[in-house]
Amino acid sequence: MLKKIHKFIFLFFFTLPSLVQAVENVEIQALMPGMVVLLIDGDRTTLKAGQMKQGVKLISSTTSLATLEIEGKRKAYKMGSSISTQFSKREEITERVMLDKHGMFRVHGSINGQSVQFLVDTGATSVAMSAKTARGLGIQYQLNGIPTKTSTASGIADAWSIKLKTVRLGQLLVRNVQGVVIDGNHPRMVLLGMSFLKQMKVEKEGRVMKISRKP
């Protein structure tokens, strides 16, 4: 476990209603009557007609076309279409974090589309996880990472510097995030460091923490 772990805060995560969704790219990977397989900001998902996920709704589909509703606009798309969306009010997306009775904050998010629990540490330079966690997420850190060393409570440990395809906290998503995998089973939770947080605006007001995308 890293030396600064006593400084980490657990986050219990609440999402504020927002005017827009933080979807930036949608790719159609498979089409079927009444069903479609999409890649939404790097996360693979299946939608049935009438369903909505991450701000994308499937209206109808055939084997050749899918009618999607994104940002309140409906349009038909062909197989393989890549839809890039730009929202003018991205800064209005805010995630609300509440202090719990134990004086801790807990946050659930995802890495590469896989659910994880984060520990937020503004003193950490990158998103850090144990080798055990990385294997569970399917991250091939030994194959794709760069060997390095890091300081832990037990001394110097082997580690691998990696790039994470996507890191998501609620509706806030960042691509190509710098990460580090530490050999062994610690830390038990993923440490959400500045490689993600530097792109956000973090404010604390009493028992409330607000995390939003920088304008």
pLDDT in tens, 78-93: 988 888 765 444 446 8
pLDDT tens sequence across 5-41: 333 333 333 333 333 345 678 889 999 999 999 988 7
Which of 72-76, 112-116, 146-150 has the least mean pLDDT?
72-76
| Amino acid in position 101 | K
Mean pLDDT of all residues belonging to the chain:
81
| Cα–Cα distance, 206 to 209 (Å, whole number) | 8
**How does pLDDT run across 168-198, given as a tens digit for each residue?**
988 888 999 999 999 999 898 899 889 998 9
- Give per-residue pLDDT as tens, 161-175: 999 999 998 888 899
Show me where the domains of the chain are located: 3-17+90-213, 25-84
Local structure of residue 195 (DSSP, 8 states): H
What strand order describes the sheet that includes 56-61? 52-53, 56-61, 65-70, 73-78
Q: Residue 180: its pLDDT value, please?
A: 97
More confident residue, 25 or 61: 61
Q: How far apart are CA 125 and CA 11, in angstroms?
A: 19
Candidates 2.30.30.830, 3.30.300.30, 1.20.58.1880, 3.40.50.2300; correct CATH number of 25-84? 2.30.30.830
Instruction: Indicate the class that CATH gives domain 3-17+90-213.
Output: mainly beta
